[in-house]
Amino acid sequence: MTFEDLARALEAAIARDDRDAIAQRVAELNPADMADFIENVRQPELEIELLMALPLERRADTFGYLPLPVQQQLASRLPPAVLAELVTAMPADERADLFNVLDEGVRRLLFTRLAREEREDLRRLASYEEGTAGAVMTSDYAAVPNGLTVAEALETLRLTAPDKETIYQAFVVDKDHRLKGVISLRELILAVPSSRVDDLMEREVVSADVSTSQEEVARLISRYDLLALPILNSGGKLVGIVTYDDAMDVAEAEATEDMHKGATVGKLDASFREASPLSLYRSRVHWLVVLVFANIFTGAGIAFFEQTISAHIALLFFMPLLVASAGNAGAQSATLMVRGLATGDVSARDWAKLLGREILVAGALGLTMAAAVMVVGVFRAGPEIAAVVALTMMLVVMIGSLIGMGLPFLLDKLKFDPATASTPLITTLADVSGVLIYFGLATVLLGI
């Protein structure tokens, strides 16, 4: 049965209050699908009931797929003993994420019911700064001491690895828990039992520090095609790993954040669907107000050239077309540049090369668009104004493109997020420059 079929069957069982059918359908749903169903129920008591109908391990998996705001709401309604049982069964990184969003009172109640090992691990993982490798790593990794034979390493994994996040890679550590190498489960299984792990392991291991940004962690995992990236503390000891699936979650979150910044939208307190009107208002109002005042310069430019406009009213016909073209060219260039900087495809040292190339590309685009608008200009307002419009088109497309390329570079150099070079900001700058260039050229070329 598909998810839709199972969801309809579960809804029917809930409507009939058929407990046996509810338990059967809940057991058939994948944890990710079950989380989606619970999130959309919108009935607090039923959400708890559906969650509690699952076995503990499956309940923890399902709970981990829920958005953090939903987890927070459910956790506040669960009895402390039940919550402690659920948190203990969760992966270490998900457990820390939940702990960070719980109210202080719930945290205290939870702490008193956790085992000492879970308390210490939770306290340590929750202490790392948000957005760093330490905040997204898990301490549930498979490790074996160096110096073991393959047979001894496999036996160690059998005893210690069943509850770990992944066992496809085992990290080899010394007595001080410093990382010495990594070996895959496949290599261990295929190796001669009497051979030494130290002779088989990969010693050149890609790793990151606990303070490394989560964006950089996701980039490393993607670049080197890793199943898991080991995370070391300042003393060089292995303290956790970031797995591939966690890195993809980070990449999705970073891409969403960059898209929001690119549209001058601030960080939301919850998902877009769950965000309150006040949260949406606060995330959007700041830049809109700033850009209102920035656009005053456009109006000031028009007012300054009032005499030129009065003498050639046909100039107004082409103004929206020109400033929009400048803004569109700038937005295209900025989008390419921001993405290139985000993926590491380009860096500050590429500035001169990219500037020269952008001048060529923008010049070609400007000439093409100038030729197109020239034809319209001749029929609409005569050859003199058509020439002004065509020359302006070429210049504003070039300048808009250079603004779009240069602003992300400048922000990156100043240690700001290049994504802040958003489309509305680029468009506003292009509008102001376009108006000044257009009417300035008209004033000079038309002899006003």
Using the predicted structure, report yes or no on whether residue 410 has a pLDDT greater than 70: yes
Q: What's the confidence (pLDDT) of residue 3?
A: 67
CB atoms within 10 A of CB 236: 12
On the CB side of 188, CA atoms within 13 Å amount to 24
- Average pLDDT in the chain: 85
Q: What's the confidence (pLDDT) of residue 63?
A: 92
Structural domain includes residue 149: yes
> Do 158 and 109 fall into the same domain?
no
> Do 300 and 416 fall into the same domain?
yes
Structural domain includes residue 275: no
> Do 115 and 170 fall into the same domain?
no
Structural domain includes residue 258: no
Interatomic CA distance for residues 258 and 249, integer angstroms: 14
Out of 107-111, 164-168, 312-316, 370-374, least confident range = 164-168
Q: Which amino acid is at 281?
A: Y
Structural domain includes residue 264: no
Phi and psi, residue 180, nearest 5°: -110, -25
Q: What's the confidence (pLDDT) of residue 363?
A: 92
Q: What's the confidence (pLDDT) of residue 111?
A: 84
* CATH for 209: 3.10.580.10
pLDDT-derived band at 354 (thresholds 50, 70, 90) equals: confident
Q: What's the confidence (pLDDT) of residue 188?
A: 93
Q: What's the confidence (pLDDT) of residue 426?
A: 82
Of 248, 281, 314, which residue constitutes the final position of a domain? 248
pLDDT-derived band at 208 (thresholds 50, 70, 90) equals: very high
Q: Which of 35, 48, 113, 53 is nearest to 77 (CA)?
A: 48
Q: What's the confidence (pLDDT) of residue 370?
A: 92
Structural domain includes residue 441: yes
> Do 172 and 153 fall into the same domain?
yes
The pTM assigned to this predicted structure is 0.67
Using the predicted structure, report yes or no on whether residue 330 has a pLDDT greater than 60: yes
pLDDT-derived band at 261 (thresholds 50, 70, 90) equals: low
3-state secondary structure 229-259: EEEECCCCEEEEEEEHHHHHHHHHHHHHHHH
Q: What is the mean pLDDT of residues 17-24?
A: 80
> Do 194 and 313 fall into the same domain?
no
According to DSSP, the residues that pair with 138 across neighbouring strands are 241
Structural domain includes residue 119: yes
Using the predicted structure, report yes or no on whether residue 421 has a pLDDT greater than 60: no
Using the predicted structure, report yes or no on whether residue 145 has a pLDDT greater than 60: yes
Q: Which domain holds residue 234?
A: 136-248
Of 105, 128, 151, which residue constitutes the final position of a domain? 128
Q: What's the confidence (pLDDT) of residue 211?
A: 92
Of 128, 160, 195, which residue constitutes the final position of a domain? 128
- Whether residue 181 contacts residue 198, with contact meaning beta carbons closer than 8 Å, is answered with yes
> Do 114 and 228 fall into the same domain?
no
pLDDT-derived band at 26 (thresholds 50, 70, 90) equals: confident
> Do 86 and 165 fall into the same domain?
no
Q: What's the confidence (pLDDT) of residue 1?
A: 63
Q: Report helix, strand or coil for 100.
A: helix
275 vs 137, higher pLDDT: 137
Number of folded domains that form the chain: 3
- % pLDDT > 90, the chain: 26
The angle at the Cα of 248, spanning 247 to 251, to the nearest 5 degrees, equals 90
Using the predicted structure, report yes or no on whether residue 191 has a pLDDT greater than 80: yes
Q: What is the mean pLDDT of residues 81-107?
A: 88
Structural domain includes residue 274: no
> Do 189 and 215 fall into the same domain?
yes
> Do 405 and 363 fall into the same domain?
yes
| Count of H-run helices and E-run strands, the chain | 23, 6
> Do 152 and 112 fall into the same domain?
no
Using the predicted structure, report yes or no on whether residue 276 has a pLDDT greater than 80: no
> Do 187 and 115 fall into the same domain?
no
Q: What's the confidence (pLDDT) of residue 210?
A: 93
* CATH for 21: 1.25.60.10
Structural domain includes residue 398: yes
Out of 21-35, 183-197, 247-261, 262-276, least confident range = 262-276
pLDDT-derived band at 67 (thresholds 50, 70, 90) equals: confident
Using the predicted structure, report yes or no on whether residue 272 has a pLDDT greater than 70: no
Out of 209-223, 356-370, 372-386, 406-420, least confident range = 406-420
Using the predicted structure, report yes or no on whether residue 270 has a pLDDT greater than 90: no
Q: What's the confidence (pLDDT) of residue 144?
A: 93
412 vs 361, higher pLDDT: 361
Q: What's the confidence (pLDDT) of residue 201?
A: 94
Q: What is the mean pLDDT of residues 258-264?
A: 64
Q: What's the confidence (pLDDT) of residue 263?
A: 62
> Do 171 and 194 fall into the same domain?
yes
